[in-house]
Amino acid sequence: MSLASASNAGLPTSNEPANTAIQAALDKNNAVHLPKREQPYLLDGPIILKSGQKLTADADTVIQLKPGTNTCMVRNEHIVGFADKPVPADTKPDTDITIEGGIWTTFGEGNTRGHSSEQQPVPGTHGVILLHNVRKVSVRNVTVRQSKPFAIHLGNIHDFTVDGLTLDQHGRDGVHVDGPASKGTIRNVSGDSHDDPVSLTAWDWKQYNVTFGPIHHLTIEHITGAPDEKHSTDAIRLLPGVKRFSDGTTLDCPIHDITIRDITDIRDFKLYDQPNLEVGRDNDFSIGIGTLKNIAFENLTFNRPGSIQVHANTDGLTIRDVKLLFQPPASYHLIELGPKSATYKHKPNDTATWVEILSPDLDCTVRNLSVSGVRTRDAHSDLPIEQVVKLIEQKPNPDYPKTTPKGGTGKGIWIR
């Protein structure tokens, strides 16, 4: 059903929320299309999609969240959170949901969290488009503009596709996936974002994950970073770990069997441990670093410096066919194995408030690393492995806090 005819659909004026009319069309026909009009479709809460329902819009249709409404804009019906225990085997997921088209925006006005609902939201929900506890779902050809929650927040998900996401002055992650997640494709993501365009978080900071668990058998392809003048983050994150629940039990949250290919101008591939900076690193952290297995990077293009940074116990890491179309400095390495150290200065003039962002005291071991086809512009042979791979061994910085970072005692171990 289209909402083109306001009289038949009960479509309100542009100054009134369109939720009731949209939900009525979905209840009647299991589908609704939002044609372009001069004024945005205003929402005062999320559109709720049930199993088998489809929401489409013209590519240039603008859907806006009403200022002061701190919820997502569209979600599935049965979102369930498991912040303090593993996801049970049967959570009665919603299935066969499609979202396609539209420019979805909060225009940067409040709406910082993207909760599942205004009252008693499921903890950790944080999306413009929120699909959690779902199977067989797709999101295609959407634009998310000037919004602060994740553009698309997915999790407890199996058999899914995200194909076509444009980020326009976006404030947080593009596609953010909580574990457990499996058998999915994320492709054709571009634009500018102030966080990761794609983020796989099997373990994550507790305020941002609805569930925790393994992520596996995903393909991420055709991701393009923003031009330099956009000042975009341009990073892809893989964050495994071990979740400890409040009763002391733990859950391994590995990431495995992931293919990342046909990627252009991503600055950093972040495969490293990172405790919770917002609530305090001692209050929320992975119990040791996480595990990666069978991770493949294929056909990467860098018009500017970029790196693959690994601080996880890794078995099976393949990097092949990489074009470095800039002039690498002598110190440059594409792949860095080992712990990182960085300092966050809460108050730049008060060193007592400075904290370590990462985990520089933890070792990691990398096995079965395969590198081939890493070449600079117009080169006819691969770069030598010693120019491609850097093994990191942290040392305490004796001049800290006069100079930063603080450093540490951890190291990367490469089993050749």
pLDDT of residue 180: 98
3-state SS record for 314-349: EEEEEEEEEEECCCCCCCCCCEEECCCCCEEECCCC
User: pLDDT grade, residue 326 (50/70/90)?
Assistant: very high
As a whole-number percent, the residues of the chain with pLDDT over 70 amount to 96
pLDDT of residue 8: 33
pLDDT in tens, 144-164: 999 999 999 999 999 999 999
Contact 111, 149 (CB under 8 A): yes
Burial of 159-171, coded b for 16+ CB within 10 Å and e otherwise, reads: ebbbbbbbbebbb
Structure tokens at 321: 């066919």
What is the rounded average pLDDT for all residues in the chain? 94
CA distance 175 to 129: 10
* Mean pLDDT (whole number) for 362-373: 98
Can you list the domains of the chain with their CATH numbers?
Answer: 29-415 (2.160.20)
Contact 40, 11 (CB under 8 A): no
CA distance 201 to 181: 10
CA distance 279 to 155: 22
More confident residue, 365 or 233: 365
More confident residue, 50 or 8: 50
What's the one-letter identity of residue 144? V
Phi-psi region of 298 (alpha: psi -120 to 50; beta: other; left: phi over 0): beta
- Its sign, for the CA torsion 400, 405, 406, 410, is negative
DSSP per position, 218-273: EEEEEEEPPPGGG----EEEEE-EEEE-TTS-EEEE-EEEEEEEEEES--EEEEE-
CA distance 406 to 356: 7
pLDDT of residue 7: 32
